[in-house]
């Protein structure tokens, strides 16, 4: 036996051990073990298996996916409410919907504990399936950030899958291993990054896919979002069903005009409201300014803004529905203050109607 044959046989044996100790489904383990045995036979005959790297890459994905691993939900409604209020002003209907979902989970968990029921795939997990939330609103209204807060409130891992410019459904479903350089789709990749089978996955901007591929991508979305189908979602690369029923999918879009009816039918649409000037002033004072000061390295109290100045900060270029312009404006103010602090021009700055032009960004 040559040294190369010995190395290959050792590698194959290591792959078999990884597979046997993984949480992958038994039928998948058996199939991969058969592939490994084929590699052993070829190596024993002095033939270098050309698809050895392909099998190793496949095994790497199988053993690193969270087939059974899940995080424990934090079902404390008071804590969840505190996190949502801390990160977001208003949005009461949305906050109530999240708290309702947590309440249902908590009651079902207590029921299962009292009856000593087992949480198998077809039993208790059916009533614990996550809702498919769908936030619709103009840019800057907080669609993405509310998803982060939901994950934080529940104590789940968070992953984002951007849909802007997607032109190939294989981006979501993966490519078959017969093709060179095949990889799983973004859903399976998100699960591996999260390390749990019940993360929050944000499907961001599902209305911005390429027009030519819209129909096929919407077809994949239907399977992802349908509770009766996502229990056995099949990625082309894995070629084995993966249970997505415990994933909390959250979708966002600016509008619903280009989204298939079948997809909308499986989502729970929630309209993200536009903010009034008064609401923006409150958000600017209590949320944006403290965060931007911290990000700029400014100590608390180093920037004070007079009440009369806030309308000019909120609407420097006219009305917009979201708070992104507000964030950019306050960020620009904090940068100018940081520069003045470093230059030794002071430690505390009060923005008034007479000096606000010195701090506002120029366009």
Gap between the Cα atoms of 189 and 192, Å rounded: 5
Which CA distances in Å does 184 have to 2, 100, 209, 236, 363?
35, 34, 19, 7, 44
Q: Residues 65, 191: contact at Cβ < 8 Å? A: yes
Q: What is the DSSP string of 185-244?
A: -HHHHHHHHHTSSS-EEEEETTT-S-GGGHHHHHHHHHHHH-TTTGGGEE-TTT-SEE--
Q: What is the DSSP letter of 287?
A: I
What is the reported pLDDT for 229? 86
Q: Residues 186, 173: contact at Cβ < 8 Å? A: no
Torsion sign (Cα): 341, 346, 352, 358 = negative
Assign 134 to helix, strand or coil: strand
Q: Residues 42, 172: contact at Cβ < 8 Å? A: no
What is the reported pLDDT for 160? 95
What is the reported pLDDT for 49? 62
Domain boundaries, the chain: 3-63, 77-271, 277-358
Torsion sign (Cα): 132, 154, 62, 123 = negative
What is the reported pLDDT for 319? 62
Which CA distances in Å does 29 have to 21, 116, 165, 179, 240?
10, 30, 36, 22, 11
Token pair belonging to 217: 């991508």
One digit per residue, pLDDT tens: the chain, 363 residues? 566 666 767 777 777 888 888 888 888 888 888 887 777 777 666 666 667 778 888 888 998 999 999 998 888 899 999 999 888 888 888 888 888 888 887 887 777 666 655 544 444 444 455 568 899 988 888 888 889 999 998 899 999 999 988 888 899 999 998 888 889 999 999 999 999 999 999 999 999 998 888 899 999 999 988 888 888 899 999 889 999 988 999 999 998 888 999 999 888 888 888 888 888 889 898 889 999 999 899 888 888 999 988 888 887 665 667 788 888 889 989 999 999 989 888 888 888 888 888 888 665
What is the reported pLDDT for 3? 62
Beta strands 248-253; 200-204: pairing state: parallel
β-sheet bridge partners, residue 160: 202
Q: Select from 100, 103, 124, 126 the least CA-distant residue to 112.
A: 124
Q: What is the DSSP string of 51-100?
A: THHHHHHHHHHHHTS-SS--PPP---HHHHHHHHHHH-SS-HHHHHHHHH
Beta strands 268-271; 303-305: pairing state: unpaired
Instruction: Give buried/exposed letters for 175-184 (b at 16+ CB in 10 A, else e).
Output: bebeeeebbb
Gap between the Cα atoms of 220 and 262, Å rounded: 11
What is the reported pLDDT for 119? 45
Gap between the Cα atoms of 231 and 227, Å rounded: 7
Global pTM? Answer: 0.80
Regarding the domain delimited by 277-358, which CATH topology (the fold level of the hierarchy) does it fall under? Helicase, Ruva Protein; domain 3 (1.10.8)
Residue with tokens 């499907």: 203
Q: Select from 312, 315, 296, 293 the least CA-distant residue to 355.
A: 312
What is the reported pLDDT for 189? 96
CATH class of 77-271: alpha beta
Assign 252 to helix, strand or coil: strand
Gap between the Cα atoms of 111 and 98, Å rounded: 20
Chain centroid to CA 55? 29
User: Taking the chain, what is the end-to-end CA distance rounded to the nearest angstrom?
Assistant: 74
């Amino acid at each position: 036996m040559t040294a190369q044959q010995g190395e290959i046989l050792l590698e194959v044996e290591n792959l078999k051990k990884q597979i046997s100790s993984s949480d992958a489904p038994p039928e998948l383990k058996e199939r991969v073990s058969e592939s490994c045995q084929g590699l052993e036979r070829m190596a024993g005959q002095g033939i270098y298996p050309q698809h050895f790297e392909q099998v190793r890459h496949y095994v790497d994905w199988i053993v690193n996916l969270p087939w059974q691993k899940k995080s424990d939900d934090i079902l404390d409604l008071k804590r969840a409410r505190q996190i949502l209020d801390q990160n977001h002003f208003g949005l009461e209907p949305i906050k109530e919907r999240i708290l309702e979902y947590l309440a249902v989970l908590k009651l079902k968990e207590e029921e299962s504990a009292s009856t000593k029921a087992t949480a198998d795939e077809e039993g208790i997990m059916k009533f614990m399936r996550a809702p498919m939330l769908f936030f619709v609103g103009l840019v800057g209204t907080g669609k993405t950030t509310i998803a982060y807060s939901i994950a934080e409130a529940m104590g789940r891992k968070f992953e984002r899958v951007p849909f802007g410019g997607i032109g190939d459904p294989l981006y979501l479903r993966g490519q078959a291993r017969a093709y060179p350089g095949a990889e799983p789709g973004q859903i399976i990749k998100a699960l591996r990054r999260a390390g749990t089978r019940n993360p929050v996955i944000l499907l961001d901007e599902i209305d911005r896919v390429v027009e030519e591929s819209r129909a096929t991508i919407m077809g994949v979305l239907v399977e992802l979002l349908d509770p009766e189908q996502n229990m056995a979602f099949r990625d082309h690369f894995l070629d084995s069903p993966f249970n997505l029923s415990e994933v909390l999918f959250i979708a966002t879009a600016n509008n619903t005009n280009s989204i298939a009816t079948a997809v909308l039918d499986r989502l729970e649409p929630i309209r993200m409201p536009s903010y009034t000037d008064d609401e923006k002033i409150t958000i600017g004072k209590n949320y944006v300014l403290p965060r931007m000061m911290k990000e700029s390295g400014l100590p608390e109290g180093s920037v004070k803004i007079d009440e009369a100045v806030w309308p000019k900060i909120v609407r420097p270029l006219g009305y917009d529905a979201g708070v992104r312009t507000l964030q950019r404006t306050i960020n620009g103010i904090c940068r100018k203050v940081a520069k003045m602090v470093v230059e030794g021009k002071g430690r505390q700055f009060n923005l008034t109607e007479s000096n606000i032009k010195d701090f506002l960004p120029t366009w």
